[in-house]
Amino acid sequence: MSTKPIETPAKSKPVHPSYGKVLLTFVRNSLVRDMSFRTNFILQCITSLSWALMNFGLYKIIYGHTQQIGHWGEHEFFVFLATLWIINSIVQAFFMPNADEFSELIRTGNLDYALLKPIDTQFLVSFTRIDWSQLTNLATGLVILGISLRQLAHQAVNPLTIAPWTIFAYVFFVACGTVVMYGLMFTLAATSIWLGRNQNLYTFWFYITNFYRYPMEIYQRNALGWSLFATFTFVVPVLLVVNVPARVLARPLRPNWYSYEWLLAGLAVVAAVVSLAMSRLVFRWALNSYRSASS
């Protein structure tokens, strides 16, 4: 053992950690990790892709039997589907592995280490892992989106014109939708502190998000439908997540600001802010009841 004395570093430390660099380290480490299991990575990309293609096939079959689903024509619907995949793949690449890991941290008591770090705990557990293979469907989504928009722009009746600001609005509302999903997912994940083993998190998530997979028009018919529409628009606002950006693109907002579309768009922004704030609140509250499992 060497006897070289250890020097004390300078005491004037800044109080805030460098969030940007921490995030970059997570991005890098996850990529290095994914690349060291290459076969698995490629297999996962292929399965995600085939999942998307099978879904695509299903709706192709359905559009063989009908021309519309809730006033959405085939290509409009595929704009919707592509948006769904884009948001879904972001959720699955960035949020899902962390929410899942979070329950695991609680079960094993390894959340202890996260709590020790001089950095926002929610930030730390939200972005530690990134599943890069899940971004396959981001690409698939973009391809389908491009093709469908081209079809819509070149159709004989009522061709679609896309203004540059529409693209900007689309990206903005996709971001809003993603934030809503993040907020809901981490609110849900935080409950594993009370519920203990929360194996059903994935299942639970699947059922909740089941409602956001379709255009909201399909619910707007009978009493049950309207109440579902109201619940999943105002209470658990998943219906806004895909619907708003998809409408912005496939059925451009009318310029009169008081229309239904503008209302939805405004609601999407509110939903993003509220669900983010809520996840933060529930997360803090949950941490106070953390028991720390002994190994």
Partner 1 sequence: MAVIEVRQLWKSYRVYQKKEGLIASVRGLFRREYRDVHAVRGIDIDVERGEFIAFLGPNGAGKTTTLKLLSGVIRPSQGTCGVLGFTPWHRDNAYRRRFALVMGQKNQLWWDLPAQESFRLHQHIYRISPDDFTRVRDELADLLNVRKLMSQPVRELSLGERMKMELIAALLHSPEVLFLDEPTIGLDVVAQHNIQQFLKYYQEERKITAMLTSHYMKDVAALCRRVIIIANGLIHYDGSLSGVIGQFGSDKIVTLQLSEDTSFAQFENLPNLIEIIPPKIKFRCARDEVAQVLASFLDKHAVQDVSVEDPPLEEVIAKVFSQAQADHQLRSGESESSNSERKNVRPNRVGERS
Partner 2 sequence: MTGTWLQRVMTWWIFFRISIEERLVYRVDYVIGTLLRFLPIVTQIFLWMAIFDAASKAVRETGDSFQIAGYRFHEMVAYYLLVTVSRAFSSMPGLTPGIARQIRDGEIKKYLIQPVDLIGSLLLQRIAHKFVYYFVAILPFALVFYLLGDYFPNGWPPVDVLLVFIASLVLSFLLGFFMETLFGLLAFWFLEIASLTFVFMLLNFFLSGHMFPLELLPREPINWQFIVDLLPFKYLAYFPAAVFLGKITGAQLYWGLAIEFAWVVVLILLTRVAWARGVARYSAFGG
Sorted by sequence, the CB contacts under 8 Å of residue 105 that are 6+ apart come out as 111, 114, 125
CA–CA separation, 58 and 83 (whole Å): 17
Q: Which range binds partner 1 by CB under 8 A, 3-11, 145-153, 230-238, 274-282?
A: 3-11
User: Residues 22-61: x/- map of binding to partner 2 (CB under 8 A)?
Assistant: ---------------x--x--xx-xx--xx--x---x--x
- Nearest Cα neighbor of 87 from 2, 152, 13, 145 is 145
Could you tell me if 185 and 281 are in contact, meaning their C-beta atoms sit under 8 angstroms apart? no
Which option in partner 2, partner 1, none does residue 259 bind, with CB closer than 5 to 8 A by kind?
none
CA–CA separation, 137 and 53 (whole Å): 10
Could you tell me if 237 and 267 are in contact, meaning their C-beta atoms sit under 8 angstroms apart? yes
* Residue in 33, 107, 213, 280 binding partner 2, rule: CB under 8 A: 213
Count of positions on this chain that bind partner 1 (CB under 8 A): 43
Sorted by sequence, the CB contacts under 8 Å of residue 126 that are 6+ apart come out as 95, 98, 182, 186
* Residue in 43, 68, 71, 113 binding partner 1, rule: CB under 8 A: 113
Bridge partners (DSSP) listed for residue 72: 69
Which option in partner 1, partner 2, none does residue 252 bind, with CB closer than 5 to 8 A by kind?
none
Nearer to partner 2, 18 or 210 (CB): 210
* Residue in 17, 70, 97, 225 binding partner 1, rule: CB under 8 A: 17
CB of 22 to partner 1, least distance (A): 5
* Residue in 66, 67, 203, 288 binding partner 1, rule: CB under 8 A: 288
- Nearest Cα neighbor of 274 from 237, 248, 243, 227 is 237
By the criterion CB under 8 A, which residues form the site for partner 2? 37, 40, 43-44, 46-47, 50-51, 54, 58, 61-62, 64-70, 195-200, 203-204, 207-208, 210-211, 213-214, 217-219, 221, 224-225, 228
